[in-house]
Structure 1
Amino acid sequence: MPAVTFELPDLVVVTGTSSGLGSEVAGLLLSCGVKVIGVDLSQSQSTSQVGYTEVIGSVAEQATWSRVRAAAEAASPARIGLVTSAAILDTGTVPDSTPDLIARAMAVNVTGTALGMAALIPLMEAAKGGSIVAVASVNASLAEQQLAIYNASKAAVRQLARTAALDHARSGVRINVLSPGPMMAGLFKRHLESASDSGRFLATRANRQPQGMIMEAVEVARAALFLLSDGASAILGADLIADGGLTTGFDFRTGAEGASV
């Protein structure tokens, strides 16, 4: 089959590698021969794979990123990448929120992304190049009921990354945002499990998608690899919407509702 080849960084730091999108991104990178440093509170399934180094710890703690930076420097890569997949999602309305719940979501989703950038951008600038994919969400732009704190945190991630993209563009660091829609991974699954009727919730959400199904995490992971690669060299400070067409229109008509004219 005809194919196109893009170059990836020699080493990529991926957060949230114990499950979901982070796990899929790490697996794809390793299959391409890229060295991966995985960061999570829990052990990843990739631990035994050649080229994989694991740092167990919270992305919201400076000590974790000091160990990540040391591991990256020890590997002496020519080019470094970063994918910030770690995230927390809690369901509930604003009155349901507590200071601890809000602080935890902001710490992982926002502070963790900022600390990752702060640790690795200097290494990228010293190497005169690097690429960062900050994982936000379609919820960074479009509201979704019962996810106010999560939505607010992802909106912050989006603007954090877009501003950093401008700040470090002249240093050769390319930063973009990846905004997934619902995918069959940890966060959506937890939202699904919190529904009073999970089967009905899943069927309703799948029916909203133009393709009639919820995406698999590996589909979004491929988009992350593209943004990391030199194939995306013309893309800077952009927000790549990887949602299977969910936000293309305000509503998708399946035909079941009858004629539209």
Structure 2
Amino acid sequence: MTMPQLTFELPDTVVVTGASSGLGHELCSLLVEAGVATVGVDLSAAQDDLAALAGYHHVAGDVAGEATWDKVVARLRSSDAKRIGLVTSAAILDVGTILDATPAIISRALNVNVVGTALAIKSLLPLMIEAHVGAIVAVASVNATLAEQQLGIYNATKAAVRQLARTVALDHSRSGVRVNVLSPGPMLAGLFKRHLESATDSDRFLATRSARQPGGRILEAREVAQAAMFLLSSGSTAVLGADLVADGGLTTSFDFRTGEEGASI
């Protein structure tokens, strides 16, 4: 039996930062599979499986460097891209309290997570305004709103990303460009894995964090990438300046009861 399907349109070309790992890598794969010309941006080279795909182009460079974005814009203009999308998923995370945060750690987090997002939007927005169409998805985090221990600098940068995107959405709401925020919870991908590896007992850390999730598991990065696909698509034209929380229900309640704690009454 044929399963019913719902089809939305995607941009002709989408630029994805943080393309060489985690959410960015999964999103690039989904976009190419859907027939979207995809430009990945990352300081690292593209992973082999992604580099081998027709329709994928990689720009190696620092997202906080204007030279990187000059290359991206040149690529878009040379390809005569009309309907452009952007997803800013590049991010770094350092585990530790504020006492562990050196000026170098703080600067690096701000550069990649905030400056990199701002430059990406600043560089591609004129092309979108010129075409009077475009979709921007700024990847923040549930940590932009809710604090998580030992991630103070990361949390602060993601809060900045959230407000940056929401303000850009208002500033350019009459230009045909939609800007929204995607706030993932923990994913079995780069940043969460780094936090996991820093734990004294990684197995216990993973089990405890999984038990907090209403579904009893940490989401796969591909699941969150599908939420980004929705925000890029024509199916989300009613959504502007919104924060789509993709966390498997983690932040729906202040505490998920598994039943192991006993009866509540």
TM-score by length of 1: 0.99
- Determine whether 1:27 maps to 2:18: no
Between the aligned partners of 1:230 and 1:43, the Cα distance in structure 2 is 31
Identify the residue that residue 192 of structure 1 maps to in structure 2: 196
The residue type equivalent to 1:183 in the other structure is: M
Counterpart mapping for 1:12-91 below 5 A: 12-45=14-47, 46-91=50-95
The residue type equivalent to 1:130 in the other structure is: G
Identify the residue that residue 165 of structure 1 maps to in structure 2: 169
Identify the residue that residue 147 of structure 1 maps to in structure 2: 151
Counterpart mapping for 1:217-232 below 5 A: 217-232=221-236
Number of residue pairs the alignment of both structures matches = 261
Which residue of 6, 10, 13 corresponds with 1:11? 13
The residue type equivalent to 2:243 in the other structure is: D
Between the aligned partners of 1:113 and 1:134, the Cα distance in structure 2 is 7
SS of the aligned residue for 1:14 comes to strand
Identify the residue that residue 160 of structure 2 maps to in structure 1: 156
Following superposition, the deviation at residue 17 of structure 1 comes to: 0.8
Between the aligned partners of 2:64 and 2:38, the Cα distance in structure 1 is 20
Following superposition, the deviation at residue 96 of structure 1 comes to: 0.8
The residue type equivalent to 1:200 in the other structure is: R
TM-score by length of 2: 0.98
Between the aligned partners of 1:223 and 1:74, the Cα distance in structure 2 is 29
- Segments of structure 1 that go 5 or more residues without pairing to the other structure are none
Identify the residue that residue 181 of structure 2 maps to in structure 1: 177
Runs of 4+ in 1 over 6 A off after TM superposition: none
- Segments of structure 2 that go 5 or more residues without pairing to the other structure are none
The residue type equivalent to 2:152 in the other structure is: A
Identify the residue that residue 109 of structure 1 maps to in structure 2: 113
Identical pairs, percent? 68
Between the aligned partners of 1:151 and 1:106, the Cα distance in structure 2 is 11
Following superposition, the deviation at residue 78 of structure 1 comes to: 2.0
| CA root-mean-square deviation | 0.5
The residue type equivalent to 1:69 in the other structure is: V
Counterpart mapping for 1:84-99 below 5 A: 84-99=88-103
